[in-house]
Chains A and B, each alone.
Chain A
């Protein structure tokens, strides 16, 4: 998107989303790099196909468009994995993406997996009596991991790699489930803030209704990211951009007009979620330890499986 046009308009002239000017990116470059990245990651690993969990939200919709561009829709499998309380609109939107792209899709209802553990209708599951009382955090995390298990199982049948769909904003504040929605072989959009995901989504032609709707993890009815977090994405993206990318101190952030409590809260969210963004640490004992002083590229000649 060229500078000076920070608010891409929808079909009827209304802004599709609010875009802070400092987060405006050249979407041609972003598209080129992310598409090449997907193609390269697959090729280096010896694969031609990819798959991803398609939720009906903007992040996975965008990655589906990018992956279809990278390897062709015939080499992309989109897996829809609703739980019985998931919004029907999510599934409609996921189907819309699949129809537009002409890619392969699978529908896997994760309700029996999740209910089998937590129990259902007063009947205890394999998680025991106590699991019947599990709150939304436990259930949400379990659902994210059930989807991860499903995707990785499907990846064997499909013969492709799992493409990640998490964005930079949620990664930085830790709004992800470790080994759940964040699990993937590689992630093409993990360095794009939500506001930047939206720009690229417009550029590649993700359907307007998906771009326009309120972002939600859809782990329980009525949940939206912004209600849960207490921030709007433009506010959060701006703060993270200045705090992290542009290394502004607390004092500088306050002088820019960010609220003190909000800065403190976001800093805490970033700090407490550091562990989610890193490979688990290994106790150093031997002369060469992976990730410490045994440092190789993930892929080199001979490392592809096929």
Chain B
């Protein structure tokens, strides 16, 4: 099988500069195509910048926005993953990643987990997605998309792999922090991400693609270090930290089959067991009032309401 060439667009978006960023995406899609890439991946909120705050509403696009459709039109012979602020018909704002291919918006993933702690304040400005699906790409592989914090929750890569993904793609705007000499690459954040990506790729026996932005928004700097990890958990490619660039990497899609034959972890997964035990855990958490009584606990017991009534 011919290797798939992936281009990682480790760019520094202009905060709030939607038009400028759209133009840059168009140029880089062209560059990726010229370089022979079948897939080009852009970072989280690459079309808008990250630290938007109240600007989010001003740079939001609906899925059928002509500007997004225009960008999609550039993908007749290449697939692209881009990320933007998506406004739903009922005017909720999401941090979304879209797969553009064959000239159209094929699929949209809305960020599921919005960090609102430490330096993050995403839940204040955005709504959380509530769907986790995979999508068949024209590349002949099934893709799973995730946005940054989504990968700090194990269920996300696991579910995507069980749903058939052979390649899980995480687009990020990960702020560099926890500067200390004890870390492998100087930044605690970078060291953590490198561990996560290798672990997920190995446990799900999929390719893990990570595209993280560089540059700065206000006080925070984004560290780049985009990576492609093979289904054995070994890095195929690691981009430099902090340097803007379009990085090309070739992957053998046949590695997924080879790895899964030799190491049939996915075959041996027990989702039914997992689901059964999760139901029990949720029920018990609700009974002891430890759990969140919201959407995660649809079967919340009535606590003897019938007797009291």
Which of A31-39, A73-81, A101-109, A279-287 contacts the other chain? A31-39
Partner of A37, one of B54, B182, B186, B221: B221
Partner of B180, one of A25, A32, A33: A25
Q: Is B16 an interface residue (CB 8 A)?
A: yes
Partner of B186, one of A28, A294, A301: A28
Query: Are A297 and B51 in contact (CB-based, < 8 A)?
Result: yes
**Which residues of chain B come closer than 8 Å to A33, judged between CB atoms?**
176, 179, 221, 242
Contact with A along B1-43 (1 / 0, CB 8 A): 0000000000000111100100000000000000000000000
Query: Are A296 and B216 in contact (CB-based, < 8 A)?
Result: no
Contact with B along A265-304 (1 / 0, CB 8 A): 0000000000000000000000000000011111111000
Residues of B at under 8 Å CB distance from A?
14-17, 20, 51-55, 176, 179-183, 185-187, 215-219, 221, 241-242
Q: Is A40 an interface residue (CB 8 A)?
A: yes
Name the residue of chain A whose CB is nearest to the CB of B215. Answer: A40
Name the residue of chain B whose CB is nearest to the CB of A5. Answer: B181
Name the residue of chain B whose CB is nearest to the CB of A33. Answer: B221
Query: Are A36 and B242 in contact (CB-based, < 8 A)?
Result: yes
Q: Quick one: given A29-B186, A37-B216, are A300 and B55 in contact (CB under 8 Å)?
A: yes
Q: A29-B176, A37-B219 are in contact. List 7 more A-B contacts (CB 8 A).
A: A25-B181, A30-B179, A40-B215, A295-B54, A296-B55, A297-B55, A301-B20
**Which residues of chain A come closer than 8 Å to B242, judged between CB atoms?**
32-33, 36
CB distance from B279 to the nearest CB of A (A): 35
**Which residues of chain A come closer than 8 Å to B54, judged between CB atoms?**
294-296
CA distance A299 to B14 in the complex (A): 10
Query: Are B187 and A29 in contact (CB-based, < 8 A)?
Result: yes
CB distance from B23 to the nearest CB of A (A): 13
Which residue among A1, A296, A298 has the maximum number of chain B CB atoms within 10 Å of its CB? Answer: A296
Query: Are B186 and A297 in contact (CB-based, < 8 A)?
Result: no
Name the residue of chain B whose CB is nearest to the CB of A303. Answer: B16
**Which residues of chain B come closer than 8 Å to A1, judged between CB atoms?**
181
**Which residues of chain B come closer than 8 Å to A294, judged between CB atoms?**
54
Query: Are A301 and B14 in contact (CB-based, < 8 A)?
Result: yes
Q: Is A26 an interface residue (CB 8 A)?
A: yes
Query: Are A26 and B183 in contact (CB-based, < 8 A)?
Result: yes
Name the residue of chain B whose CB is nearest to the CB of A32. Answer: B242
Q: Is A243 an interface residue (CB 8 A)?
A: no
Chain B, interface SS category: loop
Q: Is A3 an interface residue (CB 8 A)?
A: yes
CA distance A142 to B242 in the complex (A): 41
**Which residues of chain A come closer than 8 Å to B20, judged between CB atoms?**
301
Query: Are B52 and A297 in contact (CB-based, < 8 A)?
Result: yes
**Which residues of chain A come closer than 8 Å to B183, judged between CB atoms?**
26
Q: Is A178 an interface residue (CB 8 A)?
A: no
CB distance from A1 to the nearest CB of B (A): 6
CA distance A296 to B55 in the complex (A): 6
Name the residue of chain B whose CB is nearest to the CB of A22. Answer: B180
Q: Is A146 an interface residue (CB 8 A)?
A: no
Q: Is A253 an interface residue (CB 8 A)?
A: no
Which residue among A2, A28, A295 has the maximum number of chain B CB atoms within 10 Å of its CB? Answer: A295
Query: Are A299 and B15 in contact (CB-based, < 8 A)?
Result: yes
Query: Are A3 and B55 in contact (CB-based, < 8 A)?
Result: no
Which residue among A294, A295, A297 has the maximum number of chain B CB atoms within 10 Å of its CB? Answer: A297
CB distance from A36 to the nearest CB of B (A): 6
CA distance A295 to B181 in the complex (A): 35
**Which residues of chain B come closer than 8 Å to A2, judged between CB atoms?**
181
**Which residues of chain A come closer than 8 Å to B216, judged between CB atoms?**
36-37, 40
Q: Is A263 an interface residue (CB 8 A)?
A: no
CA distance A219 to B187 in the complex (A): 37
Q: Is A24 an interface residue (CB 8 A)?
A: yes
Query: Are A296 and B181 in contact (CB-based, < 8 A)?
Result: no
CA distance A29 to B221 in the complex (A): 11
CA distance A180 to B15 in the complex (A): 31
CB distance from A259 to the nearest CB of B (A): 25
**Which residues of chain B come closer than 8 Å to A22, judged between CB atoms?**
180
Partner of A296, one of B14, B53, B187: B53
**Which residues of chain A come closer than 8 Å to B176, judged between CB atoms?**
29, 33
CA distance A71 to B187 in the complex (A): 25
Query: Are B179 and A301 in contact (CB-based, < 8 A)?
Result: no
Query: Are B16 and A298 in contact (CB-based, < 8 A)?
Result: no
Contact with B along A1-37 (1 / 0, CB 8 A): 1110000000000000000001011101110110011
**Which residues of chain A come closer than 8 Å to B52, judged between CB atoms?**
297
**Which residues of chain B come closer than 8 Å to A40, judged between CB atoms?**
215-216
Query: Are A297 and B53 in contact (CB-based, < 8 A)?
Result: yes
